[in-house]
Amino acid sequence: MLSQVNHLDESGACTTVFPRATLAVHGKDHTSNTFLSPDVSLLSSDLEMDHSSSRVQDELLGAILAFGDIVSEEDDPCAFAHGKPDTERSRFARGRIAAMARAICVNSYRTFCYAFVLLPEMARLIRFDHSGIVYTELFNWRTTTHLADFLVRFDRMSPAECGCDTSVTTIASNSEEKLKQYDNIIKKLNIDPKEKDWLFKKVLKMNHREN
């Protein structure tokens, strides 16, 4: 599947999102200071998949619009839906996918998030939002077009349809409001004037990551 991700990217079928194999690139969760990475990601920007780049680590989770995890048949996170035992491996896979969805949502502005799980022959689509999780029945992604149809349609969705919260806008780093916030921080923390430039650069870096 990872090679097929590269083929999908090279085919030009996706014009607004960037399919990437992200297994080896670990994105930083800025709320927990941990690093996570899904096997496959649909990105909002053309990030270079450089695992040693601190910029990529900082921005990866916030750039993921949807993600996929590749598992074995024994690791189907929703196997219980078919009356199968809910094994430790299934629970682990379910926890990993849920943790990934959480990390993506708290490192960007989201109303919901799509994901997919790929088994050797079968697959599921999953949707996470504040009320819970919805998942499809298993379907054969090798002999049907269901997965391909999802990827093509996702590429043509608006940001809101992809789960982005379009009611949120970031504040420009040089805006009057931002500069006032900066001055208030300086006063409240009683920061040494010599450290003001360092703090300002830190604020600019944080704002750049949000954008």
| Residue 65 clears pLDDT 90, i.e. is over it | yes
- Give the pLDDT band of residue 208 (cuts 50, 70, 90): very low
| Residue 129 clears pLDDT 50, i.e. is over it | yes
What pLDDT, on the 0 to 100 scale, is given for residue 210?
Answer: 46
Q: Where are the beta strands (DSSP E) in 85-138?
A: 112-118, 122-129, 132-135
Angle CA 30–33–200, to nearest 5: 50
* CB contact set of 168 (below 8 Å; sequence gap of 6+): 109
What pLDDT, on the 0 to 100 scale, is given for residue 112?
Answer: 97
| Residue 82 clears pLDDT 90, i.e. is over it | no
Q: How far apart are CA 7 and CA 14, in angstroms?
A: 11
Q: For residue 110, what are the β-bridge partners?
A: 164
Mean per-residue pLDDT, 96-124: 95
What pLDDT, on the 0 to 100 scale, is given for residue 174?
Answer: 67
| Residue 150 clears pLDDT 80, i.e. is over it | yes
- The pTM (predicted TM-score) of the whole model is 0.78
- Give the pLDDT band of residue 211 (cuts 50, 70, 90): very low
Condensed to tens digits (0 to 9), the pLDDT of residues 38-56 reads: 999 999 998 888 888 888 9
What pLDDT, on the 0 to 100 scale, is given for residue 205?
Answer: 52
More confident residue, 189 or 2: 189
Q: How far apart are CA 180 and CA 185, in angstroms?
A: 9
What pLDDT, on the 0 to 100 scale, is given for residue 146?
Answer: 94
Share of the chain above pLDDT 90, in %: 58
Residue from 126, 124, 131, 127 nearest 146 by CA: 124
What pLDDT, on the 0 to 100 scale, is given for residue 140?
Answer: 96
